[in-house]
């Protein structure tokens, strides 16, 4: 009888832990991060800090500036394809970034000249 109680308690404990684990694993990351790196076309090792980055498509327009590493990051909640335009003084460059799968980061390098 004691052995049966031990097995029942063990079974219930495993069932509870399993259900908790399955509930927490159902939550999926519903966002994607776009990472835009701006580099100089003449020397591709040189990044461009404080460069204006514009992400556009139809009625979507997002504007930001690169950090000291030449990167601009923005998080999206929906898949989208965007035109990327980078400008800094007389330098400019364009590109396209496709954000498709949730939970992934998407990187795009734009070369300015």
Condensed to tens digits (0 to 9), the pLDDT of residues 4-50 reads 667 677 667 676 766 665 555 555 668 999 999 999 999 999 999 99
Domain limits for position 45: 32-112
Is a pLDDT exceeding 60 seen at residue 60?
Answer: yes
- CATH code at position 62: 2.60.40.1120
12 lies in some domain: no
Give the total number of structural domains in the chain: 1
The pTM of the full predicted model, rounded to 2 decimals, is: 0.74
8 lies in some domain: no
Q: Mean pLDDT of all residues in the chain?
A: 87
Pairing of strands 60-65, 91-99: unpaired
26 lies in some domain: no
103 lies in some domain: yes
Q: What is the pLDDT of residue 49?
A: 97
Rounded to an integer, what distance in angstroms lies between the CA atom of residue 62 and that of residue 39? Answer: 20
7 lies in some domain: no
Q: What is the pLDDT of residue 30?
A: 80
Rounded to an integer, what distance in angstroms lies between the CA atom of residue 84 and that of residue 93? Answer: 8
65 lies in some domain: yes
91 lies in some domain: yes
49 lies in some domain: yes
* Span 99-109, pLDDT tens digits: 998 888 999 99
User: For residue 72, what pLDDT band results from cuts at 50, 70 and 90?
Assistant: very high
Is a pLDDT exceeding 70 seen at residue 65?
Answer: yes
């Amino acid at each position: 009888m004691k052995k049966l109680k031990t097995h029942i308690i063990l079974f219930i404990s495993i069932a509870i832990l399993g259900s908790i684990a399955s509930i927490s694993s159902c939550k999926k990351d519903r966002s994607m991060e776009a990472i835009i790196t701006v580099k100089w076309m003449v020397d591709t090792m040189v990044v461009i800090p404080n460069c204006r980055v514009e992400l556009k498509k139809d009625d979507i327009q997002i504007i930001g500036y690169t950090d000291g590493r030449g990167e601009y990051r923005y998080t999206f909640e929906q898949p989208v394809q965007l035109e990327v335009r980078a400008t800094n003084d007389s330098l400019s460059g364009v590109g396209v970034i496709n954000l498709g799968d949730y939970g992934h980061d998407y990187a795009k390098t734009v070369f300015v000249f």
